[in-house]
Structure 1
């Protein structure tokens, strides 16, 4: 590990529990893959592991935390192991008996100083936020992993809650599937309350085979120096991953430029 100014590579990815989807019809015709294990899922996770290995911090949504459909495999741990990440965390959120256990994941080459798990408000339980701190004191970087509700009212409640957690921190990155576009009222209000900006308002990530909606986001504090932001053209999930490079000059341990 080294400290100093260099690029920090971030990736946010809704991996759909390791399942590919090629078109809307497959949500129905291949819906069984959401509750039953299959060999394709492991091969797809291996492809995702190869992709995320190029990044320093990865925020995952819709990971399976160990249930029947994943063969009782913790997918965050699997990806961390196969992509060579020394630090990983998962947050189990929505559990459907033994059939499915959806959650958030965090993979990192930087040791977090602290990781908190928060249950988000909403009429239907099962959404959560992970808040990780890298470094100490005023120079710390705070990173939030989110997967928000489908309904606007619930999203507004959830974003209000998260804004209350992070509004006093000077260096913040929020990553995740927010299920709403950059022009939505709830997202604009959240950015105002939390002191964040939306770097690009037209990076479409869903559906992965023909992106039409910008619902995956990486939001940052205004003083962040963004070197690059793009959606990656892969179809390992029904979402495309969103990648950002930051020119960072904070007192946190940074990984070497080359990854194993």
Structure 2
């Protein structure tokens, strides 16, 4: 069933884009640590009150001077992380000044590898996308449109090889509970064969729904974060998550007080399985991923 959906929706293996201006990918100071961040950046729009959704709605269609400054602020923050999941980024349309925001942030934060997933193509008006930034070349990268109305997607990235490989799925799920259940069932099929799993993104629901009342409930995932992420100016709901399988040891988790978007970013530092340790992480020596 999964393969039929993939064929129907055009899922494909893909290569990460390479940042030619990036310095050489550094060795990890501790080969068993991975620093993660997930952030819905709302295409670089600052929202500080609910009425801004109306009064600043034009910024979703037209360029504005503050967007470049916001991206600079985001880029400065991202430099502290190894793997970043971005939601609500623009892939290069009129509203962003024809700037691919994923690529731009990769350059600002000196990430060697990046990938933009285009989920809703409105031509010159908007290029609704997800994005990933990585310090390390993935051994597998896949682009997955999610079940439901067009416009939602997930990026699957694998680090390392063999039994201790880590699968990371970065996503932006639907608002509706029924559609979200279908999307999580699809994601369950993607990751079920891996021992070490990380799910990151704007999931539009609380952790209890994800871990207890969704198709993910039999995976034993952990949701260490308890702080709210939305709305950024007065957080009341925890909609943005980084979920871990039990074999990945948590070092630190926090919701960052950076109200640049209408969501707050979630940051986490984890310790990798012992078999992944050594002078260099296995993902640095991995062969390039296959081209779609």
Fold shared per TM-score above 0.5: yes
Task: Give CA deviations for 1:63-122 in whole Å, capped at 9, x if unaligned.
Answer: 101111111111000000011000111100022232111111110111111110001011
1:146 paired residue among 168, 171, 175:
171
Following superposition, the deviation at residue 212 of structure 1 comes to: 0.3
Following superposition, the deviation at residue 7 of structure 1 comes to: 2.1
Cα distance in 2 between the residues matched to 1:137 and 1:203: 34
Cα distance in 1 between the residues matched to 2:168 and 2:32: 18
Aligned twin of 1:126:
151
Residues 1:66 and 2:92 are matched in the alignment: yes
Residues 1:37 and 2:76 are matched in the alignment: no
Partner secondary structure for residue 161 of structure 1: helix
Aligned twin of 1:171:
196
Residues 1:192 and 2:214 are matched in the alignment: no
Aligned twin of 2:162:
137
Aligned twin of 1:258:
none
Cα distance in 2 between the residues matched to 1:244 and 1:186: 18
Aligned twin of 2:127:
101
- Given that 1:91 and 1:104 are in contact with CA atoms closer than 8 Å, whether structure 2 keeps it comes out as yes
Task: Give CA deviations for 1:208-260 in whole Å, capped at 9, x if unaligned.
Answer: 111000000001111211011110001110000000000123523478xxxxx
Partner secondary structure for residue 110 of structure 1: coil
Cα distance in 2 between the residues matched to 1:134 and 1:63: 24
Question: TM-score when scaled to structure 2?
Answer: 0.83
- Given that 2:204 and 2:240 are in contact with CA atoms closer than 8 Å, whether structure 1 keeps it comes out as yes
RMSD between superposed Cα atoms in Å = 1.7
Cα distance in 1 between the residues matched to 2:195 and 2:227: 25
Call closer, same or farther: CA 1:41–1:157 in 2, change over 3 Å. same
2:263 paired residue among 239, 254, 258:
239
Aligned twin of 1:248:
272
Partner secondary structure for residue 187 of structure 2: helix
Question: TM-score when scaled to structure 1?
Answer: 0.92
Partner secondary structure for residue 11 of structure 1: strand
- Given that 1:166 and 1:194 are in contact with CA atoms closer than 8 Å, whether structure 2 keeps it comes out as no
- Structure 2, unmatched stretches of 5+, are 1-25, 285-292
Following superposition, the deviation at residue 5 of structure 1 comes to: 4.4
Partner secondary structure for residue 58 of structure 1: strand
Partner secondary structure for residue 143 of structure 1: strand
Q: Once structures 1 and 2 are overlaid, which stretch shifts more, 176-185 or 210-219?
A: 176-185
- Aligned residue-pair number: 253
- Structure 1, unmatched stretches of 5+, are 256-260
Cα distance in 2 between the residues matched to 1:238 and 1:139: 36
2:243 paired residue among 203, 213, 219:
219
- Given that 1:180 and 1:187 are in contact with CA atoms closer than 8 Å, whether structure 2 keeps it comes out as no
Call closer, same or farther: CA 1:33–1:76 in 2, change over 3 Å. same
